[in-house]
Amino acid sequence: MLVQNSGTEQLQLWLEPFGQDYWLMPGETVCVTSYGTWNDQAFTTVHEADCLTVWATSWFATVSDRDGNEFPPGRRDTAWPAAAPPDANQSQRPTKLLRTVRP
């Protein structure tokens, strides 16, 4: 399934049931591939503000760029200013504690 960010801000792609986040820059496209078997459809999707949750109903899926290369998980714009290093107890990427959406 191709997912494209046609907006002007980053779009969070949340892949379930793995709980992994991917961040698409404006204009960026990725391919979510489901492996294994599924009953009716390979994916279920839920759109929220600035976030697209994709449930892989086969329970195994990958995210790659259009050339088939693994797409990096997490935010890719988290460069910290030199004057303000990150707190050692603070994660550099946002966390989601619980997703309650079920397919």
Strand partners, 13: 22, 52
More confident residue, 95 or 63: 63
**pLDDT band at 18, cuts 50/70/90?**
confident
β-pair type (20-24, 51-56): unpaired
> Tokens 């279920």 identify what position?
44
List Cα–Cα distances, 9 to 20, 25, 39, 48, in angstroms: 20, 7, 35, 14
**Residues 6 or more apart in contact with residue 80 via CB below 8 angstroms:** 86, 92
pLDDT 10s digits, 43-94: 989 999 889 999 998 878 999 999 999 999 998 876 544 444 445 444 444 4
Indicate the SS3 state at residue 103.
coil
Res 79: pLDDT: 54
Residue 12 has pLDDT above 90, yes or no: yes
DSSP class of residue 39 equals: S
- Encoding tokens for residue 51? 């976030």
Residue 32 has pLDDT above 90, yes or no: yes
